[in-house]
A and B are shown apart, each in its own frame.
Chain A
Amino acid sequence: MLRLALRFELRALLRGRAGMVALVAFLAVGALAIAAGQRHVSQWHEAVTTARRAQDESVAEARRLFEQGAAGPPDRPWVDLAQPGWQDRYSSTRVTREPGPLAGVAAGAVDPAPVAFQVSGSADPLSAGGHRIENPELDAGVVDLAFVLAVLLPLLIGVLGVEIGGRERQEGIERLVVVQAGESRRWLIARMLAVAAIAAAACAALCIVAGLVGGASGQEIATLVGSAWVYTAVWSGLMLAVNAHAGSIRDAAFALGTVWTLLCILLPTVAAEVSLSRVEADFAVTETLGARTSREAARQREPQLVVRELYARYPELERLPAAMEDPLDPKVGRHAADLLLVDEVAARHAARREQEQRAQVVSERAAWLSPVVALELGLERMAGVGPEAASEYREYLMQAVEERAYWVVTKAWTKAPVTQDDFDALQRAAPAAYLPQRRGGSTPIAALSFWAVVSWSFALLALSRAERRRAPRR
C-alpha cells in the first residue's frame, strides 16, 4: 500500500501546482540558505587569515630586531625585547577558532565570541565581541539551513499533506477506500508516509549539498540528514494527527496553522523571553565597574602584600632568583599584580560561563517544549557555532591567557634576559587553533525523538478513534 500511496502522492505532486511550487520554493530557499551559510564561512576564514597575517607581521618584526641586535624599534626606545613582557606582546599570539565543516548550516546562530583572539599576559577574552560586525536590524532574521529546516519544512509537509483524509471525507470517497483497502487508517498512514518520504528526500538533498560544500565527513552528513529526518517524522506525525481530527481540508489547514504558529513562533518566543529576561537587567557591572575597581585596588596595594599573595598562590616562584632579592626589583614586581589580576579575570570568566550555562539549560528545557528549538540546538551543536561553542572557545582562550601570564612572571622571576630562543620557544608553545568540540547532542536528539514518538502515537490513536467514530453502527 505504501508503494501505491507513494505513486499516488508523486502523481498528485506532479499534477498539482501548489505542491510543486512549494517543493521547488523549499529547495530554492534551501539552496540560497546554503549559499548564505558558505558566505558566512568564507568571512570566518577571512577573519582567521587576517589575524594570522597580523601575527606573522609582528613576529617578523621581532625577528628582524633580534637579527639586528636591537632591543626594539628605533622610534620606540622603551621597547626591550630582552624583557618577557615585550616578548609576550611581540609574539602577538593569535588563537584562532576554525569553522567546522557544517558551520554554515547554523550561520544565523548567536555567536558572541571572536574567531581570532590575541593572547597576551594581560588580555581579557570577555572584552572581545563576535567576529561579525552586525546590523542589529537585520541580524534578527537570517535565512540559514537551520531556519529552512526548522520553520519551512513543516510548511512544506503542510502543503503536501493537508489534503490527506480531508479530501477523502470531503469528496465522500472514504467508504470506497475502506471497501478497497479494508480500512482507511492504513491508506491515510501510507499517504502520510509517502508525503514524509518526499519531504525527507528534499531535506536530504539540501543536507547532503550543505555537507559536501562544507567538506563534512560522511558521518557528519549522516547525522545532519538523520536529524532532519527525525524532524520530518515529527511534523508528518503532527500533520497526520491534525488530519485525523479534521473534518475537511479547511479544518486541517486551520489546525496545522495553529500548531505551526504555536510550535514554530509562539513557544520559541516564550523561551527567548524567559532566557533574555534573566539577563536584561544585568548591565555587566561586575565585568565593568567591578573589574576596574579590582584593577585599581591591585595597582595601589603595597608591593610586599602583592608579592606575599603571589607566593601564597604560586609557591614555586619563591625558589626563583628574583625572590632572593630584598627588596624585590620593581621592574619584576609589577608583573606580580598582573598575574593576580589575570586570576580575577579568570574568576569573572568562570562566573560568566556559569551564567551562560544556566541560560543554555533554559534552551535545553525549551527543546522538550518545541521541536523547533530542539532542532536549532542540535544543528548549532553539529555546526560548532552558537553560545555553547563561543563559551567553550573563551574558556580555551582564558587558559591560554593564564598560561601566558604565568610564563611572563616566571621568566621575570628568573632574572635572566630572555633571548630569541625564548621568543621562538614562545612561538612554538602557542596554543593550537581551536577546533569546535563535537558535543553530544543528547538533549536535542532525545527531544526530537520524543516528539516523533509522541506525534505518531497521537496520530495513530486519533486515527483509530476517528475510524471508530465514523464506522457505521451495526
Chain B
Amino acid sequence: MTALVLRLQLLHWRRDHRLLTLLCAAVLVVLAATVWATAGDVAQRDSRARAAHEAREQWEGHGAANPHKMAHFGDFAFRPTGPLARLDRGVQARLGKVVFIEGHRQGTPMHADVGRAGTVARFVRPDAAFMLQTVVPLLLIFLGAAGLARDRETGRLKLALVQGVGARAILRGHVLALWALGLVFIGLVVASSVVTSVVLGGTAIESPLRLFGFVVTHAVFLGCVAGSIVAAAAWQRSARAALLTLLVGWVVGTTLLPRATATVSAAVFPLPNRDAFQAEMRKSREAGADGHNPQDAEVAKRRAAMMEEHGVEDVKALPFNFDGIAMQVDEEFGNRVWDEHYGQLRQQMMRQVFVASVVSLGNPFQAIDHVSMSLSGTDLAHDLAFQEQAEAYRRELIARLNHEHAYGGSKTGEWSWKATPEFFAGLDAFEYRAPSLREALRGRLAELFALVLWAVFMAWAQRRAADRLERGTLPC
C-alpha cells in the first residue's frame, strides 16, 4: 500500500500542470544556484592559488636581506575556501581573506567580501545548501500540505481505512513521496556541482567523506521535513491549518529563530569592541620584552646572562648576534600575550556558538545549517583553524628568521648583514590543512543529535497520528 500511495502522489504531481511547473521552476533555480556557486568557488580557488604563488615569488625573489628586515617584509596567508564550499559557502563572505604574516604581531584576517559588496551583502547568498535547507523544504510544504488533505477531502482516506489499509502505510507513502523528491534535489545538486567543477577545470570531488556526510545529513533533514509535513497534515483538521502551521514553522525556523539566537547569545556572551581589545593587548604587550629597545629590562637581563655564560664584557664580543636573540625574546613574550587575549576571545566566540547549538536542538533548520557548514569547511571552527595555522606558520617563520639573524654569521649590531637568497627560498611556504571530518564534527554533536532526535520525533508523531486515524479520534 505504501508503494501505491507513493506512486499515486508522484502521479498527481506529474499530472497537475501547476505543480509540475512549480517543480520544474524549482529544479531550474536549484541547478542555476548550484552551477553558479560552483563556478564562483572554482574561480576563487584559482584566484587564491595565483595570489599565493605571487606572494611566494615575491618572497623568493627578494634576494639577500637582513633576516629581521624580512620579518617586517613579511608574508601573506590567503584563506582557502572550504573543501565543500561549492555546496555551502557558510560564513566565508564574512571572513577576512588575507593575513599578513609579520614579526612582532599576530595578523588579523582582512579584506572580507561583505565589506566590499554594498548593502545587499547583509542578505544570505543562494547556494546549494541554501536551496536544500530553505527553498526545498518550502516547496515540500506547498506540495505536501495538500496531499493528505486531498485524500481526506475526496474521501479516499476514509475509503482506504474502511477497506482495511493501515493508516501507517498511507502516511508512510506520503512521507516517502516527499522524501524521494527531496533526495532527487540532493542528487541534482551534487551531480551538477561535480559536473560544473570538472568542466571548469576544478577537482571533481575534493573530499568524498565530507560529501557523503553532506548527502546523508541533508537526506536526514529532508526526511524530518517530509515527516513533519505529513504529521502536520494528519494532525490538523484542514489543509489550510496544516499549511499555515508549517509556513509559520518555516518562517520561525529559517528566519526568526536564527536571528533571535544571534541576538541573545551576543547579549549573554558579549565580545569586546576592537579598540578596547587592542588597547588591552597593547597594554599587556608593553609590560614585557621589546626586542627593538636595547634598554628593555627583559632583554638586558638575557643579554647579561649570555655575556656571563660566554665570559665576555661586550655584547659585540659574543660569537653570535644577540639582536636575533632579543627579537626572539620579544616574540615569545608577544606570543604569550596573543595566546592569552585571543584565547579568551575565541572561548567567548565558542560560547556563543554553543548557545546556537543548544537552540538548534529545537530547530532542525539551524541544526542542518551548522552541520552543513562544518562538513563544507566554511564555519567559524574552520576559520579559527586557518587563523591558528597561519599563526603557527608565523611563529615558525619568525623563529627561523631570528635564528638566522642570531647564528647565521653576523655579530651583534651588524644590521647591514644579509642572509643569502637560498636561505629565504628554503623556508616553507604557508600551507593550510583543513581539519579532519572528525575534528570538524566534534563541535556539532548537539546538532547531529538534534537531527536524529527530530527524525525519531517525527516517526513517533506519525505513528501516533496513524493510530488515532485508525481509532477515529482524528478526522479522516
Contact = CB atoms under 8 A, between A and B. Distances in A.
A175 interface: no
B118 A266 contact: no
B240 to A, nearest CB: 4
B102 to A, nearest CB: 10
Given A276-B93, A276-B125, A130 B274 contact: yes
A112 B353 CA distance: 22
A363 B120 contact: yes
Contacts of A115: 275
A75 to B, nearest CB: 5
A283 B263 contact: no
A155 to B, nearest CB: 7
B276 A110 contact: no
Interface stretch (A284-292, A396-404, A410-418): A284-292
A83 B198 CA distance: 61
B274 A132 contact: yes
A155 B345 CA distance: 37
Interface in B31-61: 33, 36, 40, 43-44, 46-48, 51, 54-55, 58
B100 A288 contact: yes
Interface string B260-300: 11110111000111111101000000000000010110000
Interface stretch (A139-147, A208-216, A419-427): A139-147
Interface residues of B, number: 85
A289 B262 contact: no
Given A141-B259, A147-B259, A131 B114 contact: no
A10 B36 CA distance: 48
Contact of A292 (B73, B122, B124, B273): B73
Interface stretch (A317-325, A339-347, A373-381): A373-381
B169 interface: no
B117 A139 contact: no
A36 to B, nearest CB: 5
Interface string A72-92: 000111000000000000000
B243 A133 contact: no
A345 to B, nearest CB: 15
B115 interface: yes
A279 B273 contact: no
B356 A250 contact: no
Q: Which of A139, A276, A373 has the most CB of B within 10 A?
A: A276
Interface in B92-125: 93-98, 100, 108, 110-125
Contact of B120 (A137, A147, A272, A388): A272
B239 interface: yes
B116 A360 contact: no
A467 interface: no
Nearest to B58: A289
A interface, size bucket: 35 or more
A367 to B, nearest CB: 9
Contact of A363 (B44, B118, B259): B118
A457 interface: no
A228 interface: no
A250 B295 contact: no
A296 B352 contact: no
A109 B119 contact: yes
Contact of B118 (A147, A248, A360): A360
A133 B119 contact: no
A273 B138 contact: no
A371 interface: no
Contact of A112 (B114, B276, B352, B356): B114
A386 interface: yes
Contact of A283 (B91, B111, B345): B111
Given A136-B383, A265-B134, A277 B36 contact: yes
Interface string A238-278: 00000000001110011001000100011011111111111
A296 B70 CA distance: 11
Given A280-B44, A283-B47, A373-B120, A141 B272 contact: no
B379 interface: yes
Nearest to B110: A129
A227 to B, nearest CB: 15
Contacts of A292: 58, 73-74
A223 interface: no
Contact of A139 (B94, B126, B260, B345): B94
Given A114-B274, A288-B98, A280 B113 contact: yes
Contacts of A44: 273
Contacts of A269: 123-126, 130
Given A77-B295, A292-B73, A114 B275 contact: yes
B76 to A, nearest CB: 5
B429 to A, nearest CB: 14
Contact of A359 (B93, B116, B244, B274): B116
Contacts of A75: 293, 295-296
A136 to B, nearest CB: 4
Nearest to A18: B244
Contacts of B122: 108-110, 272, 376
Interface stretch (A46-54, A61-69, A190-198): A46-54
A43 B273 contact: yes
Contact of A250 (B95, B98, B243, B276): B243
A138 interface: yes
Given A281-B43, A283-B51, A373-B120, A273 B125 contact: yes
B142 interface: yes
Contacts of B274: 47, 114, 129-133
A133 B273 contact: yes
B124 A140 contact: yes
Nearest to A376: B119
Given A249-B240, A283-B78, A292-B74, 7 more contacts: A33-B263, A110-B119, A140-B124, A142-B262, A143-B260, A293-B58, A363-B118
10 contacts: A75-B293, A130-B115, A133-B273, A137-B379, A143-B259, A275-B121, A281-B43, A285-B54, A289-B76, A359-B117
Interface of A: 29, 32-33, 36, 39, 43-44, 46-47, 50-51, 54, 75-77, 108-110, 112, 114-116, 127, 129-143, 147, 151-152, 155, 248-250, 253-254, 257, 261, 265-266, 268-285, 287-289, 292-293, 296, 352, 355-356, 359-363, 366, 373, 376-377, 380, 386-388, 390
